[in-house]
Structure 1
Amino acid sequence: MRLPDPQSERPRVRLRINLVGVEGVTVPLLSTGGDGEVLQDVKISAFLSLPPDRRGIHASRVYEAILQLTNDRRSWGLDQMATELSVAVLERDLGCERSDVVITARLFEPTTSPVTGRAVYLTSPVRVTATSVRDGVVRPVR
Protein backbone atom coordinates (compact mmCIF):
# COMPACT_ATOMS: atom_id res chain seq x y z
CA MET A 1 0.00 0.00 0.00
CA ARG A 2 1.39 3.39 -1.00
CA LEU A 3 0.57 6.39 1.16
CA PRO A 4 -0.35 9.62 -0.61
CA ASP A 5 2.22 12.43 -0.70
CA PRO A 6 0.08 15.58 -0.94
CA GLN A 7 3.09 17.92 -0.66
CA SER A 8 4.43 16.66 -3.98
CA GLU A 9 1.11 16.47 -5.84
CA ARG A 10 0.19 19.09 -8.38
CA PRO A 11 -2.44 21.48 -7.02
CA ARG A 12 -5.72 22.07 -8.83
CA VAL A 13 -5.16 25.82 -8.52
CA ARG A 14 -1.60 27.00 -9.12
CA LEU A 15 -0.72 29.65 -6.54
CA ARG A 16 2.61 30.87 -5.23
CA ILE A 17 2.51 31.20 -1.43
CA ASN A 18 5.24 33.19 0.31
CA LEU A 19 5.14 31.79 3.85
CA VAL A 20 4.46 28.11 4.47
CA GLY A 21 6.16 26.51 7.43
CA VAL A 22 6.43 25.58 11.05
CA GLU A 23 5.67 28.19 13.70
CA GLY A 24 6.57 28.43 17.38
CA VAL A 25 8.75 25.34 17.89
CA THR A 26 10.05 25.72 21.45
CA VAL A 27 13.48 24.23 22.12
CA PRO A 28 15.91 24.53 25.02
CA LEU A 29 19.14 26.30 24.18
CA LEU A 30 22.28 26.46 26.25
CA SER A 31 23.94 29.75 25.44
CA THR A 32 27.44 30.66 26.51
CA GLY A 33 28.39 34.20 27.38
CA GLY A 34 30.89 36.12 29.43
CA ASP A 35 29.01 35.19 32.60
CA GLY A 36 28.88 31.45 31.94
CA GLU A 37 26.17 29.23 30.50
CA VAL A 38 22.47 30.01 30.67
CA LEU A 39 19.72 27.58 29.72
CA GLN A 40 16.85 29.32 27.99
CA ASP A 41 13.93 28.42 25.83
CA VAL A 42 13.68 29.87 22.35
CA LYS A 43 10.81 29.78 19.89
CA ILE A 44 11.73 29.14 16.30
CA SER A 45 9.55 29.65 13.25
CA ALA A 46 10.78 28.69 9.78
CA PHE A 47 8.96 29.37 6.53
CA LEU A 48 9.52 28.57 2.87
CA SER A 49 8.17 30.08 -0.33
CA LEU A 50 5.90 27.53 -1.96
CA PRO A 51 6.14 27.34 -5.75
CA PRO A 52 2.85 27.26 -7.68
CA ASP A 53 3.30 23.64 -8.78
CA ARG A 54 3.34 22.24 -5.20
CA ARG A 55 0.61 21.73 -2.62
CA GLY A 56 2.79 21.93 0.47
CA ILE A 57 6.19 21.61 2.11
CA HIS A 58 7.76 18.72 3.97
CA ALA A 59 7.39 20.12 7.50
CA SER A 60 9.40 17.26 9.00
CA ARG A 61 12.46 18.49 7.07
CA VAL A 62 12.08 21.90 8.67
CA TYR A 63 11.76 20.33 12.12
CA GLU A 64 14.80 18.11 11.47
CA ALA A 65 16.87 21.18 10.55
CA ILE A 66 15.78 22.92 13.76
CA LEU A 67 16.68 19.92 15.91
CA GLN A 68 20.01 19.35 14.19
CA LEU A 69 21.03 22.97 14.63
CA THR A 70 19.91 23.28 18.26
CA ASN A 71 21.56 19.98 19.21
CA ASP A 72 24.84 21.18 17.70
CA ARG A 73 26.70 22.65 20.66
CA ARG A 74 28.32 25.59 18.87
CA SER A 75 28.36 28.85 20.78
CA TRP A 76 26.46 30.91 18.22
CA GLY A 77 24.56 34.07 18.84
CA LEU A 78 20.88 34.02 17.95
CA ASP A 79 21.50 36.04 14.78
CA GLN A 80 24.04 33.54 13.45
CA MET A 81 21.79 30.66 14.47
CA ALA A 82 18.89 32.19 12.50
CA THR A 83 21.12 32.62 9.44
CA GLU A 84 22.42 29.04 9.61
CA LEU A 85 18.89 27.71 10.02
CA SER A 86 17.51 29.70 7.08
CA VAL A 87 20.22 28.18 4.86
CA ALA A 88 19.69 24.65 6.24
CA VAL A 89 15.91 24.79 5.76
CA LEU A 90 16.22 25.97 2.16
CA GLU A 91 18.88 23.37 1.31
CA ARG A 92 16.52 20.59 2.45
CA ASP A 93 13.67 21.65 0.16
CA LEU A 94 14.92 21.84 -3.42
CA GLY A 95 11.71 23.21 -4.93
CA CYS A 96 11.60 26.40 -2.88
CA GLU A 97 13.45 29.64 -3.62
CA ARG A 98 13.32 31.47 -0.28
CA SER A 99 13.32 30.74 3.44
CA ASP A 100 12.58 33.00 6.38
CA VAL A 101 13.44 32.19 9.99
CA VAL A 102 12.28 34.02 13.11
CA ILE A 103 13.76 33.27 16.54
CA THR A 104 12.29 34.80 19.67
CA ALA A 105 13.88 34.37 23.05
CA ARG A 106 14.17 35.87 26.46
CA LEU A 107 17.73 36.85 27.26
CA PHE A 108 18.90 36.80 30.86
CA GLU A 109 21.34 39.40 32.15
CA PRO A 110 22.85 38.80 35.57
CA THR A 111 22.87 41.82 37.85
CA THR A 112 22.58 42.72 41.51
CA SER A 113 19.32 43.85 43.07
CA PRO A 114 19.64 47.44 44.28
CA VAL A 115 17.25 46.67 47.15
CA THR A 116 18.50 43.32 48.49
CA GLY A 117 22.03 43.22 47.09
CA ARG A 118 21.40 39.68 45.86
CA ALA A 119 22.17 38.31 42.43
CA VAL A 120 19.17 38.51 40.10
CA TYR A 121 18.50 38.29 36.37
CA LEU A 122 16.99 40.98 34.21
CA THR A 123 15.12 39.58 31.24
CA SER A 124 14.78 41.12 27.81
CA PRO A 125 12.69 39.80 24.93
CA VAL A 126 14.66 39.42 21.71
CA ARG A 127 13.54 38.73 18.13
CA VAL A 128 15.93 37.97 15.28
CA THR A 129 15.14 37.16 11.66
CA ALA A 130 17.10 35.76 8.73
CA THR A 131 16.29 35.16 5.08
CA SER A 132 18.01 32.95 2.52
CA VAL A 133 17.40 32.71 -1.22
CA ARG A 134 18.24 30.23 -3.92
CA ASP A 135 19.63 31.78 -7.09
CA GLY A 136 21.83 29.02 -8.40
CA VAL A 137 23.17 28.43 -4.88
CA VAL A 138 21.61 28.87 -1.45
CA ARG A 139 22.85 32.03 0.24
CA PRO A 140 21.74 34.20 3.14
CA VAL A 141 20.43 37.67 2.34
CA ARG A 142 22.44 40.30 4.18
Structure 2
Amino acid sequence: MPEIALKVDRVGIEGVRKRIVTQSPEGKLQFDTIMNAYVDLPREQRGIHMSRNVEVFEEAIERAGSERPASLEEVLSEICSNLIKKT
Protein backbone atom coordinates (compact mmCIF):
# COMPACT_ATOMS: atom_id res chain seq x y z
CA MET A 1 0.00 0.00 0.00
CA PRO A 2 1.30 3.46 -0.80
CA GLU A 3 1.93 5.85 2.07
CA ILE A 4 -0.56 8.31 0.58
CA ALA A 5 -3.49 6.67 -1.19
CA LEU A 6 -4.71 8.56 -4.25
CA LYS A 7 -7.99 7.95 -5.96
CA VAL A 8 -7.55 7.69 -9.74
CA ASP A 9 -10.88 7.71 -11.49
CA ARG A 10 -9.90 9.32 -14.78
CA VAL A 11 -6.89 8.79 -17.02
CA GLY A 12 -6.11 10.14 -20.42
CA ILE A 13 -3.84 11.37 -23.12
CA GLU A 14 -3.55 14.94 -24.33
CA GLY A 15 -2.18 16.70 -27.34
CA VAL A 16 -2.35 13.96 -29.97
CA ARG A 17 -1.66 15.89 -33.17
CA LYS A 18 -3.08 14.41 -36.36
CA ARG A 19 -3.98 15.65 -39.81
CA ILE A 20 -7.39 14.42 -40.90
CA VAL A 21 -8.10 14.45 -44.64
CA THR A 22 -11.71 14.12 -45.74
CA GLN A 23 -13.61 14.48 -48.98
CA SER A 24 -16.53 16.78 -49.58
CA PRO A 25 -18.53 17.71 -52.66
CA GLU A 26 -16.19 20.70 -52.95
CA GLY A 27 -13.06 18.50 -52.85
CA LYS A 28 -10.43 17.41 -50.35
CA LEU A 29 -10.45 19.07 -46.92
CA GLN A 30 -7.55 18.91 -44.46
CA PHE A 31 -7.84 19.48 -40.73
CA ASP A 32 -4.84 19.79 -38.42
CA THR A 33 -6.25 18.56 -35.12
CA ILE A 34 -5.11 18.28 -31.54
CA MET A 35 -7.10 15.60 -29.74
CA ASN A 36 -7.50 14.67 -26.09
CA ALA A 37 -9.03 11.41 -24.83
CA TYR A 38 -10.03 10.54 -21.28
CA VAL A 39 -11.43 7.40 -19.76
CA ASP A 40 -13.46 7.31 -16.54
CA LEU A 41 -12.35 4.24 -14.63
CA PRO A 42 -14.66 2.12 -12.52
CA ARG A 43 -13.51 1.72 -8.92
CA GLU A 44 -12.45 -1.90 -9.39
CA GLN A 45 -10.27 -1.16 -12.44
CA ARG A 46 -6.71 -0.12 -11.67
CA GLY A 47 -5.68 1.20 -15.06
CA ILE A 48 -5.97 1.13 -18.81
CA HIS A 49 -3.57 0.82 -21.73
CA MET A 50 -3.66 4.35 -23.10
CA SER A 51 -1.65 3.33 -26.17
CA ARG A 52 -4.86 1.67 -27.42
CA ASN A 53 -6.48 5.10 -27.60
CA VAL A 54 -3.73 6.40 -29.88
CA GLU A 55 -4.18 3.29 -32.05
CA VAL A 56 -7.90 4.07 -32.34
CA PHE A 57 -7.11 7.61 -33.53
CA GLU A 58 -4.68 6.24 -36.12
CA GLU A 59 -7.06 3.56 -37.42
CA ALA A 60 -10.05 5.87 -37.81
CA ILE A 61 -8.01 8.60 -39.50
CA GLU A 62 -6.40 6.15 -41.93
CA ARG A 63 -9.80 4.68 -42.86
CA ALA A 64 -11.23 8.15 -43.47
CA GLY A 65 -8.45 8.95 -45.92
CA SER A 66 -8.33 5.63 -47.77
CA GLU A 67 -11.57 3.67 -47.65
CA ARG A 68 -14.30 6.16 -48.38
CA PRO A 69 -15.06 9.84 -48.43
CA ALA A 70 -15.86 10.88 -44.87
CA SER A 71 -16.81 14.07 -43.15
CA LEU A 72 -14.91 15.27 -40.12
CA GLU A 73 -17.97 14.41 -38.04
CA GLU A 74 -17.93 10.81 -39.32
CA VAL A 75 -14.25 10.42 -38.46
CA LEU A 76 -14.72 11.80 -34.94
CA SER A 77 -17.82 9.65 -34.40
CA GLU A 78 -15.86 6.56 -35.45
CA ILE A 79 -13.03 7.46 -33.07
CA CYS A 80 -15.48 7.80 -30.16
CA SER A 81 -17.27 4.54 -30.97
CA ASN A 82 -14.01 2.63 -31.20
CA LEU A 83 -12.67 4.12 -27.96
CA ILE A 84 -15.78 2.88 -26.17
CA LYS A 85 -15.37 -0.61 -27.65
CA LYS A 86 -11.68 -0.87 -26.69
CA THR A 87 -11.97 0.22 -23.05
Normalising by the smaller structure, the TM-score range is 0.7 to 0.9
Distance (whole Å) between structure 2 residues aligned to residue 13 and residue 55 of structure 1: 13
| 1:44 match | 35
Structure 2: segments with no counterpart, 5+ residues: none
Letter in 2 for 1:37: K
| Structure whose residues are more often strand by fraction | 1
Partner AA of 2:34 in structure 1: K
Task: Tell which deviates more after alignment, 81-90 or 71-80.
Answer: 71-80
Q: Does the 8 A contact of 1:16 with 1:49 survive in 2?
A: no
Q: What is residue 68 of structure 1 aligned with on the other side?
A: 59
What amino acid is the match of 1:43? I
Residues 51 and 15 from structure 1, CA distance in 2 versus in 1: closer, same or farther, beyond 3 angstroms? farther
Query: Percent of counterpart pairs with the same letter?
Result: 25
Distance 1:13 1:81 in 2: 39
Q: Which has the higher contact order (CA 8 A, sep 6+)?
A: 2
**Matched residues in 2 for 1:28 and 1:43: separation?**
9
Q: Kindly provide the amino acid, as one letter, of the partner of residue 72 in structure 2.
A: L
Q: Report whether the alignment pairs 1:57 with 2:48.
A: yes
Stretches of structure 1 lacking an aligned partner (at least 5 in a row) = 1-11, 94-142
Q: How many residues align?
A: 81
Question: What is the Cα-based RMSD across aligned positions, in Å?
Answer: 2.2
Matched, 1:87 2:78: no
Which residue is 2:11 aligned to?
Answer: 20
The amino acid of 1:57's aligned partner reads: I
**Retained in 1: the 8 A contact 2:22–2:72?**
no
Which structure is higher in helix share? 2
> Which residue number in structure 2 is paired with residue 77 of structure 1?
71
Aligned structure 1 segments of 4 or more residues deviating by more than 6 angstroms: none
Cα distance, 1:14 vs structure 2? 7.9
Higher Cα radius of gyration: 1
The two structures have a TM-score, normalised by structure 1, of 0.49
- Paired with 1:30 and 1:49, the residues of 2 have a C-alpha distance of 29
Q: Per-residue CA shift, 1:78-133, capped at 9, x if unaligned?
A: 2222222111012112xxxxxxxxxxxxxxxxxxxxxxxxxxxxxxxxxxxxxxxx
- Secondary structure of the 1:39 match is strand
